[in-house]
């Protein structure tokens, strides 16, 4: 053998060894990579926890015999809930009205105390009330039924995706059959991949037409769960291996159920629509269990391309693809010829407007999130699928929004202000429970930006004065409703030789005035004198007792509301007054349930008595005087004087802020109007905020304010001119409340004319209404 041949033989052997060695290396690397992918697939699939946004609901409307509820109000609620008016209700979410009778079938819903099934109801109304409530099937009378609450928003996960989880058994058979017929006919027999489809895709790629599909449902699931949208050969190779592994470890039923919940089916703004259950609500505003054959086919059609086949943007594309799905269902004998013909003739049936991805109540949802973060981590709120039942009342919210937006536009015209220069905020709560029923964070209620109701700290002006008068009335040995206050020039030395000389709004002084008159007319000087005699620490202590948590500066000007509060904080203060001195934190959340409907937490009332009821009762009477004949007297243009509303106007320096806060028998509300640039508005509390307050309350048909008289409060006849006891037969004598033991002991002689006619008239109207005095 020649040297040359030996060399050639050696080269062949070395090349063969290299090839074998390289093959072993490749096989080893491939094995390691496959083991790694196997670990990823099993770990991630078994631990998969889809990020499901928290769903936030309004309060459920409760129906019960004797309820103050007119048919028109019920129909407004049903309209909000997208109930359908029909001749004869047949499905959940449908109703009919015949005069004073309403028939409806409720939707099922899981509440804190269990699941309420769909109920067929007969309701009869009389005199503006729900007279009878009966089960339509059995005729039995029902004591209480709740309508499913309105979905008012979501708290989204970081990827902004939206989905509702279902089990395979909850998916309509037509949907499953259509999906497999069109997307993966061999799903139940293949190993997770389709070699023929892959060959077609490879041939297309080799011809230079890009990387194409050929993916099975299993491969599509792998792409969505583990990989990205990139179209490369290496990613396709990884997809194939992972699909084989997924098929090896898990049943077809598990894979199909995961696909039904994960598939991408559309986009609303920055929110991705994932899973067929969420897509059903998004496109049809119906739960997946209630869609028909043609609707199921349309959802399947979207799998191929949610953008191209978007039925709202490209209805012709969507219709053609839907009909193709129906054809495949017919060809594979999943549906009959009659079903095919009927479904083919149906329109797309898509809801004209998709459900809002963003909440229409962003200011309220903002507060819900802040309050829940006290008990839940951010990640839990965003991804655990919590169901949150809140206190929002859609009727109250609508009244607040309408009042603010319409009045601001009108006020700008009246004051010759630039359009959209005025801003405002409204907070309304239930006076008995402390539940927040409405929040408006600005003149555009759906704007998700700066929430003025919670974050606009503005000087409150005279809204602080009730705290001063309450501090005084807590000292019945020194102050009563008959006490005379001095309203005369005052000079208060301040630092660096500065003299503070407060003035009244009318630039006049009024001499000796009864305490209720000073509050009703918001006399600054009389109030400052009273506050200085009580001491700033005592007054600020009362402010904190009423519910203000952060520290406020203690300046003399604080007695006239120089300190800043938010509308929400003001509402908390007046909530405590409306509750007779019992403080309950304002709350937005009633119940929290997990994704399966199991109760996690119920937010019960937290009540603490911070002020004795007697002084609050006296102050409430004085605040009713503000509305009866004081600075808020024009509220009568919106509400009947028979409601005996208690409230207080507030105006700050240079007319920069306009405030009104007050309460009826069932509502507490605070309204602020101002400008974001802190410019003057030309509005007082009475000409600005009070008009919004009155317009909102007028739509709510509020209950009269008739607080029960505490056991330690007695009534006594008084001469309002002197503050002394009076003979009931004396002209001008009035009967007013006193903390027991604090009434005057001396009696005034009868006078032929009352020296303070306005006070006498007010006392007779207000106190006489409940004491028989005319």
Show which residues are catalytic: 183, 462
Query: What residues contact residue 625 under an 8 Å CB cut-off, 6+ apart?
Result: 516, 517, 519, 520, 762, 766
d(CA 267, CA 285): 15
CA 516, 517, 523, 528 dihedral sign is negative
3-class DSSP state for residue 108?
Answer: coil
d(CA 721, CA 126): 49
DSSP 641-695: GGG--EEEEEE-GGG--EEEEEE-SSEEEEEEEE-TT----S--TTTTHHHHHHH
DSSP 455-515: H--EE-GGGGHHHHHHHHHT-TTT--TT-EEEES---EE-GGG-EE----TTS---EEEEH
User: Widest CA span of the chain, in angstroms?
Assistant: 151
| Cα–Cα nearest to 471, from 568, 559, 584 | 559
Residue pair 329/362 in contact (Cβ under 8 Å)? The answer is: no
Stretch (H or E) spanning 125: strand 120-126
Residue pair 389/111 in contact (Cβ under 8 Å)? The answer is: yes
Residue pair 689/673 in contact (Cβ under 8 Å)? The answer is: yes
d(CA 466, CA 472): 10
The tokens describing 670, both together, are 């605070």
Output Rg (C-alpha) for the chain, integer angstroms: 36
d(CA 659, CA 202): 72
Phi, psi (degrees; rounded to nearest 5) at 375: -120, -15
The tokens describing 96, both together, are 């009919």
| DSSP code, position 168 | G
Q: How do beta strands 499-500 and 582-583 pair?
A: unpaired
d(CA 382, CA 359): 15
Q: How far is CA 614 from CA 645, 649, 688, 736, 742, in A?
A: 18, 23, 32, 13, 12
DSSP 179-241: HHHHH-TTTTTSSS--HHHHHHHHHHHHTTS-------HHHHHHHHHTS-S---HHHHHHHHH
């Amino acid at each position: 053998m020649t040297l040359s041949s030996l060399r050639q033989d050696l080269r062949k052997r070395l090349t063969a060894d290299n090839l074998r060695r390289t093959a072993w290396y490749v096989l080893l690397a491939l094995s390691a990579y496959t083991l790694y992918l196997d670990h990823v697939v099993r770990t991630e699939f078994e631990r998969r926890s889809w990020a499901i946004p928290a769903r936030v609901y309004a309060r459920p409307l409760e129906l019960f015999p004797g309820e103050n509820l007119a048919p028109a109000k019920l129909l407004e609620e049903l309209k909000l809930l997208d109930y359908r008016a029909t001749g004869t209700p047949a499905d959940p979410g449908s109703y009919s009205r015949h005069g004073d009778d309403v028939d409806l079938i409720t939707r099922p819903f899981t509440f804190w105390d269990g699941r309420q099934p769909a109920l067929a109801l007969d309701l009869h109304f009389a005199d503006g009330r729900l007279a009878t409530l009966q089960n339509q099937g059995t005729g039995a009378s029902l004591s209480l039924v709740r309508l499913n609450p309105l979905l008012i928003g979501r708290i989204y996960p970081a990827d902004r995706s939206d989905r509702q989880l279902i089990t395979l058994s909850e998916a309509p058979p037509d949907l499953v059959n259509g999906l497999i017929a069109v997307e993966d006919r061999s799903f139940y027999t293949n190993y997770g991949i389709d070699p023929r489809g892959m060959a077609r895709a490879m041939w297309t790629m080799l011809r230079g037409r890009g990387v194409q599909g050929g993916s099975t449902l299993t491969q599509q699931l792998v792409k969505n769960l583990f990989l990205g949208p990139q179209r490369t050969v290496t990613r396709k190779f990884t997809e194939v291996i992972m699909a084989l592994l997924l098929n090896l470890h898990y049943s077809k039923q598990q894979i199909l159920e995961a696909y039904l919940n994960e598939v991408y089916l559309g986009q609303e703004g920055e929110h991705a629509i994932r899973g067929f259950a969420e897509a059903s609500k998004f496109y049809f505003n119906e739960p997946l269990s209630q869609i028909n054959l043609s609707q199921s086919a349309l959802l399947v059609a979207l799998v191929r391309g949610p953008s191209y086949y978007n039925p709202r943007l490209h209805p012709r594309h969507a219709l053609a693809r839907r009909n193709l799905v129906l054809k495949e269902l017919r060809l594979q004998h999943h549906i009959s010829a009659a079903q095919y013909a009927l479904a083919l003739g149906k329109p797309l049936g898509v809801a004209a407007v998709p459900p809002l991805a963003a909440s229409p109540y962003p200011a309220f949802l903002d507060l819900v999130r802040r309050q829940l973060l006290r008990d839940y981590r951010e990640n839990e709120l965003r991804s655990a699928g919590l169901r949150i039942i809140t206190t929002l009342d859609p009727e109250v919210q609508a009244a607040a929004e309408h009042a603010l937006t319409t009045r601001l536009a009108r006020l700008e015209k009246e004051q010759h202000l630039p359009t959209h220069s005025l801003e405002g905020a409204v907070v309304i709560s239930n006076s008995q429970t402390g539940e927040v029923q409405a929040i408006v964070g600005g003149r555009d209620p759906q704007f998700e930006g700066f929430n003025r109701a919670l974050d606009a700290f503005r000087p409150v002006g005279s809204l602080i004065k009730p705290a001063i008068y309450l501090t005084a009335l807590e000292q019945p040995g020194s102050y009563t409703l008959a006490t005379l206050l001095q309203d005369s020039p005052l000079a208060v030395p301040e630092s660096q030789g500065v003299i503070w000389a407060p003035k009244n709004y009318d630039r006049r002084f009024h001499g000796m005035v009864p305490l209720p008159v000073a509050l009703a007319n918001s006399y600054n000087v009389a109030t400052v004198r009273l506050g200085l005699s009580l001491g700033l620490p005592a007054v600020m202590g009362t402010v904190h007792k009423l519910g203000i948590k952060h520290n406020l500066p203690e300046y003399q000007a604080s007695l006239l509301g120089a300190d800043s509060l938010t509308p929400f904080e003001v509402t908390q203060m007046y909530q405590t007054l409306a509750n007779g001195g019992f403080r309950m934190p304002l709350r937005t959340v009633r119940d929290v349930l997990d994704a399966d409907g199991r109760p996690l937490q119920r937010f019960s009332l937290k009540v603490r008595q911070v002020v004795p009821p007697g002084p609050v009762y006296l102050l409430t009477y004085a605040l009713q005087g503000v509305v009866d004949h004081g600075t808020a007297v024009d509220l009568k243009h919106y509400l009947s004087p028979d409601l005996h509303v208690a409230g207080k106007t507030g105006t700050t320096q240079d007319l920069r802020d306009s405030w009104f806060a007050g309460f009826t028998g069932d509502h507490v509300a605070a309204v602020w109007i101002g400008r974001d640039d802190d410019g003057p508005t030309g509005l007082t509390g009475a000409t600005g905020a009070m008009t919004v307050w009155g317009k909102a309350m007028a739509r709510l048909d509020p209950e009269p304010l008739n607080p029960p008289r505490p056991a330690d409060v007695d009534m006594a006849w008084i001469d309002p001119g002197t503050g002394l006891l009076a003979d009931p037969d004396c002209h001008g004598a009035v009967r007013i409340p006193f903390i027991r033991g604090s009434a005057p002991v001396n009696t005034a002689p009868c006078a032929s004319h009352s020296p303070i006619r306005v006070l006498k008239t007010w006392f007779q109207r207000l106190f006489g209404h409940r004491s028989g005095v005319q």
